[in-house]
């Protein structure tokens, strides 16, 4: 049987997961590819740590160039993370005509243009299934299964750490700080999990999904993002009373000439399919013009699911290598026109319903002053909850609005900041109807 050689750069959690999938399922993979897929070299700066798996030490090297320069290696797998070094290794491997697999979402979200262009210029193939949604084959779905469709909507829960934190806050009524500390102590979250909870990780992933769905690289800096750090158990409870759950959503909507692309906590109806995606699970709901709604659900992180995604790319590239194909699938599954630019709608132009929680003095006329400012900005109220008097005389006033223009909501809330009737920060959460 023909042999296809793989070189892995980066032998951390995902590198070990990849090695384990390739060795454990060696036979089934050989049958699916029609060739043996063999790990020929593994590069990592740390060769001493016990990784809990059996590896022939002759495979190991500290020098990534031993992988990139090896003429017998067909597929180079970059799993070191970080941006600069990873980019350098990938570009060098492509220049040498290697097919490349990466799980590096930050790299693709920041330097996607350069990497995708190099892949096409050198006529090599690039797999990056593991960069979004861990084990969920969403990139394969967009590049192949949904290729007949114009994508109209994508709504994702793309960050498992935030989803885990929100699930705990919802189920146990605990404050954000306590849940994060517990998650870090239990090893469920990075210490500190800044890029997860501030929306950056989800923005990286949405940038990649949009680039494939709409056929042009989009920089993650253009994606509006807000994290979950200001959410309180009170907001989650009030949302529940209105019939909603709160999730950190990644949303892309095709507006025809422009695209909505945003990451923020959002209230979604409790019976929405994404409202029941809990713990560290990820899910992506999307709509195509012919296929209609599609839903993808699974583990968004972890050694085994991410290893599964990396190996799915290795298998695909090994199949192409076996029959002598290269550069068969353009990275974004589109023939790109260099001048095609995706225009993103500024968040100020969004029209949405809103949840606002005001901390206000409990005295006559307060409610009418708040609703007066909202009315002056064309914001119509659909429901109000005002609970009884608190010890210090300050009460939460919670409102849901009808659809309003974001810029008007921002102006109204900013104007209210100066009003003496408000005793604390106002919390605003966008409401997604579906
Ligand atoms: N840190 C990510 C998450 C997993 O919490 O979803 C890796 O993409």
Determine the distance separating the centroid of ligand 1 and the alpha carbon of 306, expressed in angstroms.
10
* Closest ligand 1 atom number to CA of residue 202: 6
Question: Ligand 1 centroid to 139 CA: how many Å?
Answer: 16
Q: How confident is the model at residue 338 (pLDDT cuts 50, 70, 90)?
A: low
- Tell me the CA–centroid distance for residue 376 and ligand 1, in Å: 42
pTM beyond 0.75, yes or no: yes
pLDDT at 89 (0 to 100): 98
pLDDT confidence of residue 407: 98
134 C-alpha to ligand 1 centroid (Å) = 8
Give residue ranges with CB within 6 A of ligand 1: 159-161, 196, 201, 300-301
Is residue 387 predicted with pLDDT exceeding 90? no
Q: Is the pLDDT assigned to residue 380 strictly greater than 60? A: yes
What single DSSP character describes residue 64? T
Pocket of ligand 1, candidates 300, 303, 304, 306: which has the most ligand atoms within 8 Å of its Cβ, to mutate? 300
pLDDT of residue 215: 87
For position 217, what pLDDT does the model report?
85
Per-chain mean pLDDT for the chain: 95
Report pLDDT digits (tens) over 171-222.
999 999 999 999 999 888 889 999 999 999 999 999 999 999 998 888 889 9
Domains of the chain: residue spans and CATH: 3-135+303-322 (3.40.50.720), 139-299 (3.30.360.10), 348-431 (3.30.70.260)
Q: Buried b vs exposed e over 194-210: b needs ≥16 C-beta within 10 Å?
A: ebbbbbbbbbbbbbbbb
Known catalytic residues are 205
Is residue 391 scored above 60 in pLDDT? no
Residue of 128, 134, 162 to test ligand 1 pocket, by largest number of atoms within 8 Å of CB: 134
The alpha-helical segments, DSSP class H, found in 34-104 are: 65-68, 84-95
**Is residue 103 predicted with pLDDT exceeding 80?**
yes
pLDDT-wise least confident of 154-158, 335-339, 368-372, 410-414: 335-339
Give the alpha-carbon dihedral of 10, 13, 14, 15, to 10 degrees: 40
Bridge partners, residue 41, by sequence: 7
Residues 120 and 144: beta-carbon distance below 8 Å: no
Asked whether the predicted pLDDT for residue 284 surpasses 70, the reply is yes
Distances (CA, A) of 337 to 4, 117, 152, 214: 33, 11, 21, 12
Q: Which two tokens stand for residue 231?
A: 């959410």
Host H or E run for residue 303: helix 303-322
Q: Which residue is closest in CA terms to ligand 1's atom 4? A: 301
Per-residue pLDDT, averaged over 95-102, amounts to 97
Give the closest residue (by CA) to ligand 1 atom 8: 301
When pLDDT is cut at 50, 70 and 90, the band that residue 337 belongs to is: low
């Amino acid at each position: 049987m023909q042999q296809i050689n793989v070189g892995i750069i980066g032998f951390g959690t995902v590198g070990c997961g990849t090695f384990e999938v390739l060795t454990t399922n060696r036979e089934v993979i050989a049958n699916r590819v029609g060739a043996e897929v063999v790990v020929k070299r593994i590069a990592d700066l740390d060769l001493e740590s016990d990784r809990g798996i059996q590896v022939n030490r002759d495979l190991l090297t500290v020098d990534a160039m031993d992988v990139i320069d090896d003429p017998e290696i067909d597929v180079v797998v970059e799993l070191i993370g970080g941006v600069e070094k990873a980019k350098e290794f990938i570009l060098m491997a492509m220049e040498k005509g290697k097919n490349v697999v990466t799980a590096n979402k930050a790299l693709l979200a920041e330097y996607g243009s350069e990497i995708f262009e190099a892949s096409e210029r050198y006529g090599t193939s690039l797999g990056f299934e593991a960069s979004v949604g861990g084990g969920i084959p969403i990139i394969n779905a967009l590049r192949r299964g949904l290729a007949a469709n114009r994508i109209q909507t994508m709504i994702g829960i793309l960050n498992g750490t935030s989803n885990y934190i929100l699930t705990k806050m919802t189920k146990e009524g605990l404050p954000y700080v306590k849940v994060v500390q517990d998650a870090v102590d239990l090893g469920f979250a990075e210490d500190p999990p800044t890029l997860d909870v501030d929306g950056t990780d989800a923005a990286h992933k949405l940038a990649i999904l949009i680039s494939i769905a709409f056929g042009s690289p989009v920089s993650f800096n253009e994606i509006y993002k807000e994290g979950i750090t200001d959410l309180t158990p009170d907001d989650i409870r009030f949302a529940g009373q209105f019939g909603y759950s709160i999730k950190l959503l990644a949303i892309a909507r095709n507006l025809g000439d422009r695209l909505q692309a945003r990451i923020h906590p959002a209230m979604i109806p409790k019976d929405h399919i994404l409202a029941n995606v809990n713990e560290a699970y990820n899910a992506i709901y999307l709509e195509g013009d012919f296929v209609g709604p599609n839903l993808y659900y699974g583990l968004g992180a972890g050694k085994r699911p991410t290893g599964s995604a990396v190996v799915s790319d290795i298998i695909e590239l090994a199949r192409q290598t076996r029959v002598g194909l290269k550069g068969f699938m353009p990275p974004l599954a589109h023939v790109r026109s260099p001048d095609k630019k995706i225009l993103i709608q500024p968040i100020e132009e969004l029209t949405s319903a809103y949840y606002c929680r005001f901390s206000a003095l409990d005295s006559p006329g307060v409610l009418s002053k708040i609703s007066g400012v909202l009315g002056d900005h064309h914001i119509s109220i659909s429901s109000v909850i005002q609970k009884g008097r608190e010890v210090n005389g300050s009460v939460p006033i919670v409102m849901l609005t009808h659809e309003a223009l974001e810029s008007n909501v921002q102006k109204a809330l900013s104007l209210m900041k100066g009003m003496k009737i408000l005793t604390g920060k106002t919390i605003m959460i966008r409401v997604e109807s579906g």
